[in-house]
Amino acid sequence: MTKIDFHVLPVQGRRQHDVYVCELVQQAFRDGRRVHIHCLDDDMVTALDDLLWTFHDTSFVPHAVAGSAEAADVPVVLAAGLTPPEASDMLVNLHVEVPPFFSQFEHVIETTGEDDHAKALARGRYKFYKDRGYPIATVNA
């Protein structure tokens, strides 16, 4: 059964939230995971694609945007669509809704977002998983 981790973050700016996500993805990469980052839209894909190259001076997270020539050869793929790569075992969901394909992953990471509105939406996703009996761990950042 898919394991769900909810990362509870303090209210913060969008950049701080996204750097936190990059750090989570970097750790997953170091742990040998194949990660699919499910974004809200193409603008979020572009912003995270750029940030994954620059969030720390010494960071390196090999990644690509879904549909690109490099996507099949890297451990981290970003997308805003509803078709995840089959080779991934971890989903980082940055969308406001639970994607219909979440259960094909071993591990799902959710965050409470960067502001009160995002936290309210995260509570709905938490309830979705809980009502269906998925094991949920809470991680306080």
pLDDT reported for residue 11: 79
Half-sphere CA count of 22, side-chain side, radius 13 A: 25
C-alpha span between 7 and 84 (Å, rounded): 22
Pair of tokens at residue 98: 């639970």
pTM greater than the 0.85 cutoff: yes
* SS3 assignment, position 41: coil
Contact between 101 and 82 (Cβ < 8 Å): yes
* Mean pLDDT, each 10-residue run in order, the chain (141 residues): 94 90 97 97 96 92 94 95 83 96 96 89 97 96 84
Domain count, the chain: 1
pLDDT reported for residue 77: 96
In the sheet that holds 76-79, the strands lie side by side as 63-65, 76-79, 35-38, 90-93, 107-111, 3-8, 136-140
Domain encompassing residue 46: 3-140
Q: For residue 54, which amino acid is it? A: T
Percent of the chain at pLDDT > 70 equals 100
CATH number for position 65: 3.40.50.10110
